[in-house]
């Protein structure tokens, strides 16, 4: 059996979760990059990045549960 047979089409909600997780990761990265450019202080950036990464993790867990994958 090829991987084509094992693939499952993502529904709209699953795709939305995946896009949301990716966006949260992008935001977290931009917060951390801002500290290296002196735009914001490190503590503020870390708190913001951790918050965004937690949201991304939660979205990934929901998606994994929907796809029937173990944690």
> How far is the C-alpha of 35 from the C-alpha of 40, rounded, in Å?
5
Tell me: the pLDDT tens digits for 34-64? 888 888 888 998 999 999 999 999 999 998 8
Under a CB-based contact definition with an 8 Å cutoff, are residues 71 and 64 in contact? yes
How far is CA 17 from its chain centroid? 8
Note the helical H segments in the chain: 3-6, 12-36, 42-66
38 by Cβ neighbours in 10 Å (0-12 / 13-18 / 19+) ranks as: exposed
State residue 70's pLDDT score: 63
Query: Using 50, 70 and 90 to split pLDDT, how confident is the model at 7?
Result: low
The share of the chain scoring above pLDDT 90, in percent, equals 42
């Amino acid at each position: 059996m090829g991987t084509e047979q094992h693939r499952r089409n993502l529904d709209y909600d699953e795709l939305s979760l995946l896009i949301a997780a990716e966006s949260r990761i992008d935001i977290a990265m931009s917060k951390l990059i801002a500290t290296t450019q002196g735009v914001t202080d490190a503590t503020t950036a870390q708190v913001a990045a951790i918050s965004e990464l937690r949201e991304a993790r939660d979205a990934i867990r929901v998606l994994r549960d929907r796809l029937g994958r173990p944690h």
